[in-house]
Amino acid sequence: MIINHPLLGPRDAAEFVYLGDAALLHRPNKDDENAAQAFLEYQYLRDNPAGVHRELWYHEQGDRSWLVVTRNTLTHEITDVQLAKDVARAEGRSR
Amino acid sequence: MRYSAFQILKEGITGNKGWKPAWREPEPKAEYDILIVGGGGHGLATAHYLAKEHGITNVAVLEKGWLGSGNIGRNTTIIRSNYLLPGNEPFYELSLKLWEGLEQDFNYNAMVSQRGILNLAHSDAQRDAYTRRGNAMRMAGADAQLLDADGVRNMVPFLNFDNARFPIKAGLWQPRGGTVRHDAVAWGYARGADSRGVDIIQNCEVTGFQMQNGQCVGVHSSKGSIKAKKVAVCVAGSSSRVMEQAGLRLPIESHVLQAFVSEGLKPTIPGVVTFGAGHFYVSQSDKGGLVFGGDLDGYNSYAQRGNLPVVEDVCEGGVALMPMIGRARLLRMWGGVMDMSMDGSPFIDKTSIPGLYFNGGWCYGGFKATPASGWCYAHLLATDNPHPTATELRLDRFMTGRMIDEKGVGAQPNLH
C-alpha cells in the first residue's frame, strides 16, 4: 500500500505504524458522569467495518506525524489522507 | 456408513459403488432448537458435540459459502497447548486431549500427527520465560520439556545456532503438539453431526436476527426466515459484521494474516519449529511443502490477502533461523481474516440479548482450539452454564478487569 502523505507525498505503508480506528481521537472526558462506560467503549469496543474505515497511522520512519487515512478494508484502496492535527483542529480542538 | 479397513476392502471388491456422500444437503426447516450461524470448524464441532454429547439433534448449521471455505481451510494446521495463563491453558489442554481421540470419536481420518512443537529461546530472559511457561503447562496437565542448546541441536541440527544477534540458547519442546489435516477436520465434524440428524445448510447467508421483546428468536437468511430457541453465532473473522445486525459492538478488530507454502521438498523438518526472536513458524506437510507464517499485516482488513512488506519480513525471519531454506521457492501464499480481540484471547459466552450466544475472537489461534471450542460452546448451549475450562472466556471481561493478555501488550489487537 502507498499512503499519500499530505506533506511528503506518496510513501510506502511499511514506513508507518498502525494504531486503529480514528475514533480514538475522541478521548472521553474523565469528569463525565458515565465516564467509566465511555472509557470502556473508547478503549475496547470497535465498529470494525467491512468497507470504508477512517484510521490512525503514525509515520514512524518519516516525519513522525499522525495521519487520518480513509481506506477500504475490503480492497485496501486509500481514498483520503489528512494530518490528524488538521482533523482535530477542524473539529475545534486546540491540537 | 462407518468407515473402516473392512469397508474399504468390501467396496474395493464390489466396484466402489456403495460410497455415499458424507453429509446430506437438506433444505432448512421452519424451526430448530438451536441454530448455529457459521459452518466453519468451530460451528461444525459445536453441532457434532451437541448431538453426540448432549443428545440435542434438532439443530441446523447455516453456512454462507461451502463447508471449509473459511479459516478452517486457510490455516497452518498446528495444534499445541503451550499457553501460560490460567484462563487459557486448561482450555487448550482440553483441546489437545480431544485432538488425540478425535479420529476415533468422529470416525474420520483427520491425519492427526503429534510430531511435536519446539519454541526457540534466544536470550537468558526468554529461557526464563519459557521455563515458567513450561511449568504452567505441566501444572495444567500438559507436557513440556525445556531443552538446552545441545538438546535443540540434536533435534534440529540445521538451524543457525551461532547467529551473533540471536543465538539459540534453549527450546521449549511440547512432544504432543503437531499438525492436523485441516479440511478433514471440517468434513469429519460435518459427517459426525449430519449422521446424528443435524441439518447442514450451505450457501445460506444470515442477513439479520429475529427479535421479539428484546429476545432473539431466530434469523433471517437468504433461504428465508428460520425460528430457533437459541441462536449461536460462530463466525470468527466476520464476527463484527454479523453481530452488528443484532446491534452489538464487539471488542474485536478484523486483521489479515498471511500463510505460505514452499515447493515440495524431501523430509527435512521433523516437527513444528518457531523462531523466538522474529515471528516465524514452520512445519512440513506430508506432501513435502514447508508450511509457514509470521506476523499479521497489522491493519484492519477483510480482504483475505495481504501485502508484500510482511511477505519479505516472514521470509527474512525464516532464512535467519534456517538458512538452508533460502533456496526453496515459494509456491503459494494467501491471507485469512482474523478476529483479533483486545487481549488476544477468545470468547465463548452468552450475549446481553437472551437467546443469542457468541463464539469468536480467536485471533490467529482458532484452529488448535476447534475441538474444545465446539465442546465448550455445546456445553454452554445445552446447559446455559459455561464449561469449567471456559469460564474466563467472557465478553464482559474488559468491564470487570479480567483480561487474559498472554502477551501483555494491552488493547492493541495488531500486536497480539
CB contact under 8 A, B249 and A41: yes
Question: Is residue A77 a part of any domain in this protein?
Answer: yes
CB burial of residue B227 (10 Å; 0-12, 13-18, 19+): middle
Which H/E stretch holds residue B283? strand B280-284
Which of B321, B411, B297 minimizes the C-alpha distance to B361? B411
Give pLDDT, residue B153. 97
Question: Is residue A57 a part of any domain in this protein?
Answer: yes
Question: Is residue A95 a part of any domain in this protein?
Answer: no
Question: Which chain A residue has its CA at the smallest distance from B403's CA?
Answer: A44
Which H/E stretch holds residue B319? helix B308-321
pLDDT at residue B238 above 90?
yes
Give the closest-approach CA distance of A19 to chain B in angstroms.
8
Question: Is residue A58 a part of any domain in this protein?
Answer: yes
Here the CATH number for the domain that contains residue A19 is 3.30.2270.10
Q: Dump pLDDT digits (tens) for B371-395.
A: 999 999 999 999 999 999 999 999 9
Question: Is residue A18 a part of any domain in this protein?
Answer: yes
Structural Rg of chain B based on CA atoms: 22
Backbone angles phi, psi at B145, to 5 degrees: -140, 130
CA–CA separation, B223 vs B376, rounded Å?
29
Q: Which domain holds residue A74?
A: 2-90
Give pLDDT, residue B1. 86
Question: Is residue A81 a part of any domain in this protein?
Answer: yes
Chain A residues whose CB is inside 8 A of the B299 CB are: 13, 18, 55, 71
CB contact under 8 A, B300 and A55: yes
Chain A residues whose CB is inside 8 A of the B311 CB are: none
Say which residues have a Cβ less than 8 Å from residue B40's Cβ, sequence separation at least 6.
B63, B68, B70, B71, B72, B186, B234, B235, B236
CA–CA separation, B74 vs B70, rounded Å?
7
Give pLDDT, residue B59. 98
Give pLDDT, residue A94. 80
Question: Is residue A31 a part of any domain in this protein?
Answer: yes
Chain B residues whose C-beta is within 8 A of a chain A C-beta are 238, 240-241, 249-254, 298-303, 307, 309, 342, 398-399, 411-414
CA atoms within 13 A on the CB side of B73: 13
Average pLDDT estimate for B281-300: 96
Torsion of CA B133, B411, B241, B302, to 10 degrees: -80
Cell of B184: 478433514
Chain B residues whose CB is inside 8 A of the A75 CB are: 303
> Which residue type does B327 have?
R
CB contact under 8 A, A73 and B301: yes
* pTM beyond cutoff 0.90: yes
Give the closest-approach CA distance of B250 to chain A in angstroms.
5
B145, B176 Cβ separation under 8 angstroms? no
Cell of A88: 482535530
Percent of chain B clearing pLDDT 70 (strictly above): 100
Average pLDDT estimate for B183-195: 97
Q: How many interchain CB pairs under 8 A, A with B? A: 66
B266, A75 Cβ separation under 8 angstroms? no
| CB nearest B252 (choices: A1, A19, A48) | A48
SS (H, E, C) chain A: CEEEECCCEEEEHHHCEEEEEHHHHCCCCCCCCCHHHHHHHHHHCECCCCCEEEEEEECCCCCCCEEEEEEECCCCCEEEEEEHHHHHHHCCCCC
Question: Is residue A62 a part of any domain in this protein?
Answer: yes
Give pLDDT, residue A93. 86
Q: How many domains does chain A have?
A: 1
ipTM of the complex, rounded to two decimals: 0.95
Q: Dump pLDDT digits (tens) for B143-187.
A: 999 999 999 999 999 999 999 999 999 999 999 999 999 999 999
Chain B residues whose CB is inside 8 A of the A18 CB are: 298-299, 414
Question: For chain A (length 95 residues), average pLDDT per consecutive 10?
Answer: 97 96 95 95 97 98 97 97 96 83
Chain mean pLDDT for chain B = 96
